[in-house]
C-alpha cells in the first residue's frame, strides 16, 4: 500500500480513538449544575394602600369604608362564587374567622364576578351570592363588587398595569394597622392555606412561646385541613410521627421569623 494511504488511514484511526475517549470522559463527568431559579417576583400589592371603594350592597347591616380599617389588621379576600379554588377556600375562611376574629382580626370579603355580561351567572345575582355565603358558613362582612368595577377596574389599573392576565381568584391580602398591604397571596391550595394561617398566627399569638403557638396551630390545621397528612407524605416522605414533628418545627421557625 502506498505510504500516503497508510498515513491517511492512521490519522483517521487516531481521530476516531480520540473522539471515543473524549465521549467517554464527557459521559463520566457530572451534569453541569443548573443556574438557581430567579427570586420570585414581589407581589404588586405589597406596601401599598388599597384604593377607596364604594360598594352599595353588603351582607352587613351597613357599608364598611376602606378608611375605617386603619388601626387594625384586616384580611381581605377577593373571590368569585363560581371559582373552584374560591369554593375550596371557603371553609378555611370561615374557620380563620372563628379562630382569629376573637383575637382582633377583621375579615372583609369582596365578591367580584369573573364575567359580568351574563345575567344568568349567579355571580351577578346578589341574592344568589348571599345564599352561597350562608351555605359556606361565612358571616363576616362581604361586599358585592357589581360588574367587578373595583377588582377588574380600579385594582387592575392601579396595581396590575391594566393586565387582566394578572388577576387571580381568590386574592388574599393582609392589610396592616398602617393601612398598607403587608402580605399577599393569590390562588388556593394546601401550601397556601398553611402560609396564610402562619401569617395570621404571627400577628395574633396566644402565647409568648413560638413552640407552643406552633403546636397549637398544627393541631388546629390537622382538624381544618383534611388532607394535611397526605400533603405531608407527598412533600416529605417518612414516618407519620416524624413528618408531624418536622412540620411542627418548620411552623415554629416560620413563627419566629420577622413578620412580612
Indicate the SS3 state at residue 208: coil
Q: Would you say the pTM of this structure is higher than 0.85? A: no
Non-local (6+) Cβ contacts of 214 within 8 A are 248, 249, 251, 252, 255
pLDDT of 25 above 50:
no
> Is it the case that residue 2 has pLDDT exceeding 70?
no
Average pLDDT over residues 91-108: 97
Q: Assign 123 a pLDDT band (cuts: 50, 70, 90).
A: very high
pLDDT on residue 5: 40
What is the CATH topology of the domain spanning 40-188? Glutaredoxin (3.40.30)
Closest by CA to 152, choosing from 143, 144, 160, is 160
- Supply the pLDDT for residue 13: 39
- Cβ–Cβ under 8 Å, residues 110 and 151: yes
Instruction: Say yes or no to pLDDT of 87 above 80.
Output: yes
Question: Rounded mean pLDDT of the chain?
Answer: 84
What is the model's pLDDT at position 239? 57
- What is the mean pLDDT of the segment spanning 169-192? 96
217: left (phi over 0), alpha (psi -120 to 50) or beta: alpha
Distance from C-alpha of 56 to C-alpha of 173, rounded to nearest angstrom: 21
pLDDT at 237 over 90: no
- Least confident segment among 31-40, 196-205, 228-237: 31-40
Domain with CATH 3.40.30.10 in the chain: 40-188
Amino acid at each position: 500500500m502506498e505510504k500516503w494511504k497508510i498515513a491517511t488511514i492512521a490519522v483517521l484511526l487516531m481521530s476516531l480513538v480520540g473522539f471515543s475517549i473524549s465521549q467517554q470522559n464527557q459521559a463520566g463527568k457530572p451534569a453541569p449544575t443548573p443556574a438557581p431559579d430567579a427570586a420570585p417576583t414581589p407581589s404588586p400589592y405589597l406596601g401599598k394602600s388599597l384604593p377607596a371603594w364604594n360598594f352599595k350592597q353588603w351582607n352587613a347591616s351597613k357599608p364598611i369604608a376602606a378608611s375605617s380599617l386603619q388601626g387594625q389588621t384586616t384580611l381581605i379576600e377577593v373571590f368569585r362564587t363560581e371559582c373552584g379554588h374560591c369554593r375550596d377556600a371557603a371553609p378555611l375562611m370561615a374557620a380563620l374567622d372563628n379562630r382569629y376574629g376573637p383575637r382582633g382580626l377583621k375579615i372583609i370579603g369582596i365578591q367580584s364576578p369573573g364575567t359580568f355580561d351574563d345575567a344568568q351567572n349567579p355571580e351577578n345575582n346578589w341574592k344568589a351570592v348571599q345564599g352561597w355565603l350562608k351555605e359556606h358558613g361565612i358571616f363576616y362582612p362581604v361586599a358585592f363588587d357589581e360588574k367587578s368595577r373595583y377588582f377588574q377596574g380600579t385594582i387592575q389599573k392601579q396595581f396590575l398595569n391594566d393586565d387582566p392576565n394578572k388577576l387571580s381568584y381568590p386574592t388574599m391580602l393582609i392589610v396592616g394597622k398602617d393601612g398598607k398591604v403587608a402580605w399577599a397571596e393569590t390562588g388556593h391550595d394546601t401550601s397556601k392555606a398553611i402560609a396564610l394561617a402562619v401569617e395570621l398566627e404571627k400577628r395574633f399569638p396566644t402565647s409568648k412561646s413560638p413552640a407552643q403557638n406552633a403546636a397549637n396551630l398544627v393541631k388546629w390545621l390537622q382538624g381544618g385541613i383534611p388532607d394535611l397528612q397526605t400533603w405531608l407524605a407527598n412533600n416529605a416522605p417518612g414516618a407519620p410521627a416524624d413528618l408531624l414533628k418536622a412540620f411542627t418545627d418548620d411552623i415554629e421557625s416560620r413563627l419566629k421569623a420577622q413578620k412580612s
